[in-house]
Structure 1
Amino acid sequence: MARKGRQSNPEATMRLAGHLREFKRRFLISGVAFVVAAIGGFFLAAPLLQLLSAPLDELQASGLPVELNVTNITQALDVQMRIAFFLGLILSSPIWIWQLLAFVVPALRGIERRYVLGFIAAAVPLFVAGCATGWFVLPRIIRLFVGFTPDGFTAFLGASDYWDFSLKLVFAVGVSYVLPVIVVFLNLAGVLSGAAIIKGWRWAVLAATLFGAFVTPAGEVLSMFIIAVPMVVLYFAAAGIALLVDRRRAKRESALESSGAAA
């Protein structure tokens, strides 16, 4: 959806072949950026895994026998490749998100562009904040789980399983922080009213609490609240924004009706 030829094409229309060429070009740019970032991520995989295993070092220092192990011949390479893929996706995200927006946004109306750009602007920092929260509670959760190892036993943890657990926890908390933005987006689209969002606050609190209990082990009440409380706060913030949007929408509709009656 390029802007070339805008003067001779004021409506910025493009034939299907042009759309396909534009998509191919932007896809190739995103793909090259991902490959380059993944290659760099491969060299960062070992330091990142060492950083993730820091809680295990603390457990060893406290006298609890626990070790992170490679359990088969190909697992070391497999773990580093998976970390490289993940880091490549994250490190190249500014480029592929920009390419996606550059392809889609020109086809949208003005208000739709504002919605999409606003969604991205709010979702990205909230996702990062959620991942940071998951990273913060991760050591506490690992200590508690590994702490169940009976005396006389050594906890041998597979590197692949350890990475999967850490990634899923951090990613799940990051996604949960974005959910209120989706609620606001649905309100802007007219699918969900602010009153309905407020009415469902009990279910929201229950869902946040259950999610916090699900991603944290039983007995880790502090970690559960560290995850659940921000989710509840974000939900009520989304409800407040939705109520403001509904109020402005009602005023506009009332003004239009008044002008129509006067005419």
Structure 2
Amino acid sequence: MTQATHTLFDHLLELRSRLLKAVLSVLVIFCSMIYFANDIYEYVSEPLLATMPEGGQMIATDVASSFFAPFKLTIVLAIFLAMPFILYQVWSFIAPGLYRKEKRLVAPLMFGSTFLFYAGIAFSYFVVFPLIFSFFTSVAPQGVSIATDISSYLDFVLKLFFAFGIAFEIPIAIILMCWTGFTDPKSLKAKRPYIVVGAFVIGMLLTPPDIISQTLLAIPMLILFEVGVFIASMNFGEKETDDIDDTDTAN
């Protein structure tokens, strides 16, 4: 009993150490970027400013929003940039309890999930933002002056960053589901029509209420679904067949 309690205590100490290292990495990155907070916000707001008509500008309606909006953005960016190190801490904590085969799969999945999350953010910034902001500014009624609040804009772009970052994790989710036996590639292919409908529904729920951003999220989700099914088919598609062959050989 004493040994079991001591082992649990050791695990809790290691978990605390890993969490502290993850938080410290975020703080270090944040402190190194806080001086450039306004420049970072200006860069993130560039897609909107570039589509505004002449004379259009962003405004701060709250007294402290001119300070807190760049501050909040810098914190979120620090978390994004620290994500590889945070995932490494997670990997270091769970790795001792994994089998060798599981270790070979989990490490690439963590690397792939980080890359796909960054890819989703980049796609939203370089592709989605210019399109939807051009659309929004072009349909403004005659005589309406466009002056977006900086806090509202930040909430809007962070929502899209998270939406596209999470949506781009679809291949990882499919691989994990097939790996754990929750589903298989054949079943996923059979459910393809429902996946198409679900992608547009999710796009509607995660993005602003316009057909452009909804479609720009749904189409990559469908493409990534096919990529995930293809990768899962290569790695897990023959699992059932192999099990049957092993059973026949044993008999």
Same fold per TM (> 0.5)? yes
CA–CA distance in structure 2, aligned partners of residues 205 and 137 of structure 1: 20
Structure 2 residue 155 is the aligned partner of structure 1 residue 164: yes
1:141 aligns with 2:132: yes
Paired residue secondary structure (1:68): strand
- Is residue 257 from structure 1 mapped to residue 247 from structure 2 by the alignment? yes
The aligned residue for residue 91 of structure 1 is: 81
User: 1:55-204 alignment to 2 at 5 Å?
Assistant: 55-60=47-52, 62-63=53-54, 65-135=55-125, 136-204=127-195
The CA deviation at 1:226 is 4.4
The range that moved more, 46-55 or 246-255, is 246-255
Task: Give the drift of 1:171.
Answer: 2.0
Asked if 1:232 is matched to 2:222, the reply is: yes
TM-aligned CA deviation for residue 212 of structure 1: 4.4
Letter in 1 for 2:116: L
Measure the CA separation in 1 of the matches of 2:47 and 2:59. 15
Q: Which residue of 1 aligns with 2:3?
A: none
How many residue pairs match? The answer is: 244
Higher helix share: 2
Task: Compute the TM-score of the two structures, normalised by the length of structure 1.
Answer: 0.82
Which residue of the partner structure matches residue 42 of structure 1?
Answer: 34
Moved more, 209-218 or 45-54: 209-218
The Cα RMSD (Å) is: 2.3
- The alpha-carbon distance between structure 1 residues 195 and 133, as it changes in their structure 2 partners (threshold 3 A), is same
Moved more, 249-258 or 209-218: 209-218
Provide the secondary structure at the position in 2 that maps to 1:92: helix
Contact 1:67 1:156 in 2 (8 A): yes
Structure 2 SS opposite 1:72 = coil
Displacement after TM superposition at 1:161 (Å): 0.6
For normalisation by structure 2, the TM-score amounts to 0.86
Distance 2:59 2:112 in 1: 39
Match of 1:6 in 2: none
**1:216 to partner: Cα distance:** 6.0
Conserved in 1, the CA contact under 8 Å of 2:40 and 2:74? no
* Residue aligned with 2:29, SS: helix
Please give the per-residue CA displacement for 1:175-206, whole angstroms capped at 9, x wherever unaligned.
Answer: 11112320121011111021110011111222
